[in-house]
Amino acid sequence: MGQEIDSSHFTKRDFERFSACLRREMAVLENWFQEQRFATGPGIAGFELEAWLVDGKGRPAPINQAYLNHLNNPLVVPELAVFNVEFNTPEQPLQGDVLRRLHAALQALWSEGDRHARELDAALLMIGILPTVREQDLTLASMSDRVRYRALNQQAMRMRQGKPLQLAIHGTEVLRSEHPDVMVEAAATSFQLHLQVNAPEAAAFFNAALMLSAPMVAATANSPYLFGRALWEETRIPLFEQAVAIGGDWTSGDPHDRPYRRVTFGSGYLQHSLLELFQENLEHYPPLLPECADAAPESLRHVRLHNGTIWRWNRPLIGFNRDGTPHLRIEHRVVPAGPSIPDTIANAALFYGLIHALGRTPSLTGQLPFAQSRTNFYAAARNGLGAELTWLGGQRVTARQLLLEELLPLARRGLSMLAIDSVDSDAYLGIIQARIATGHTGAHWQRAFVARHGRDFGALTSAYLERQRSGAPVHEWGLSC
């Protein structure tokens, strides 16, 4: 959900004070990078899984506060809309049987959550975009009761000078619509992967995450429909970028004076450290939530609050260990929720294996220009496994071929480097291999179901939920109603 705040009303003085707080904390952060003050040790894995609450007809169920009160578990928190929640599991060291432990933790939490949803005549669903969600579901009346969300909407629309948000997504079909607030963002739910990294390797790992965004989207696509239209394989990508469209085109104007988009693939590879991204935050992103708190500069409260209002598809994070030592994390935000828990852990295994292998490749950024990584990303979001990508050294290849022939073996090598149990590595990467070999991603299954049964999105959602509850990975799902 991000840091909660106390007020949604800000004055010019608030913005001035917040900017001063940011600069004080940035001086602290710069010293920490110079002195290498960050925690070291083996990689640590974690994730956030966003989910839908749906009713008996597969429609959004606007009950998240009643649901959270009923569940009473601090690992499950509200999201932007009253029919969305977020699941969190404890972080785990990336070694040994970590994949099995992550699976068990998520399964236990999800089962508990689903049981409580059933007691409220609802169900939990993990999917990138709910096929039954309608434009009229996404209004301010459906916003969760959090000050942060009201303030984000008010400030976003202020920066747009009140101009409505425009959706224009050209996929298999075309969607054009207009929205007076940011609530349309709530149509997109994701599986956000976290990796705690050591400072000396963080830049290389972040650059690797950028490169991997395209094949990760292609392998995990699960959002082909929005408002009844067949669009991109992963429609979440253009939806989120257009739903929070603040800032200009980063390719235009003076690079030292241009406004940067709040939802973005980024402006380039890192040269030295993650500090470059926090400096970019300060220089190119006006504050959205200028709440200046009475906090020590070493808490980095304002740096972290500001960073939470910039939604890079790969985002740097700063946290603190229990002993107060700061640490660095990379948040990989490109993967949609679902289709099943085994698929979810398999997606995590693919990412963790790939980033640990690719991030240690010598002269990595010289083998694939940043502009090509960005082009690959949007091609994969649009066309999924069929996307034509340019990979290291300039080779042209489909996403499906790249994953099967090069990236899956690379992921196995990365998991081996981490000393992940080989049985678990084989099992979860085996799910990815079967999904890619058959072409049966979540997006493919949804399109195939509609091709067979027509555009009954309630039936699609019900069939999806039934298969999700079976625990089978998506490549094993059938198409019967």
- Return the HEC string of 285-348: CCCCCCCCCCCCHHHCHHHHHHHCCCEECEEEEEEECCCCCEEEEEEECCCECCCCHHHHHHHH
For the stretch 8-32, pLDDT in tens is 678 889 899 999 999 999 999 999 9
pTM: 0.95
Retrieve residue 415's tokens.
Answer: 């998991």
Element (H, E) at 191: strand 191-197
The span from the CA of 462 to the CA of 460, in Å, is 6
Q: Percentage helix, strand, coil, to 5, in the chain?
A: 50, 15, 35
User: Who's near 301: CB < 8 A, 6+ residues apart?
Assistant: 3, 21, 25, 293, 295
For the stretch 324-373, pLDDT in tens is 999 999 999 999 999 999 999 999 999 999 999 999 999 999 999 999 99
For the stretch 217-263, pLDDT in tens is 999 999 999 999 999 999 999 999 999 988 754 334 444 444 588 99
The span from the CA of 145 to the CA of 127, in Å, is 23
Identify any residues that bridge with 53 across adjacent strands, giving them in sequence order. Answer: 124
Which pLDDT belongs to residue 1? 47
- 303 near 29, Cβ under 8 Å? yes
Nearest by Cα to 338 from 469, 450, 426: 469
For the stretch 70-114, pLDDT in tens is 999 999 999 999 999 999 999 999 999 999 999 999 999 999 999
- 441 near 435, Cβ under 8 Å? yes
Element (H, E) at 225: strand 225-226
Locate the domains of the chain by residue range. 12-476
Identify any residues that bridge with 403 across adjacent strands, giving them in sequence order. Answer: none
When the pLDDT of each residue in the chain is averaged and rounded to a whole number, the result is 94
Is the CATH code 3.10.105.10 the one for domain 12-476?
no
For the stretch 109-148, pLDDT in tens is 999 999 999 999 999 999 999 999 999 999 999 999 999 9
Nearest by Cα to 352 from 401, 424, 400, 268: 424
The span from the CA of 354 to the CA of 213, in Å, is 11
184 pLDDT above the threshold of 80 = yes
Which pLDDT belongs to residue 293? 87
Which pLDDT belongs to residue 259? 56
Distance in angstroms between the alpha carbons of the first and the last residue of the chain: 35
What's the pLDDT band for 159 if we cut at 50, 70, 90? confident
Q: What is the DSSP letter of 261?
A: P
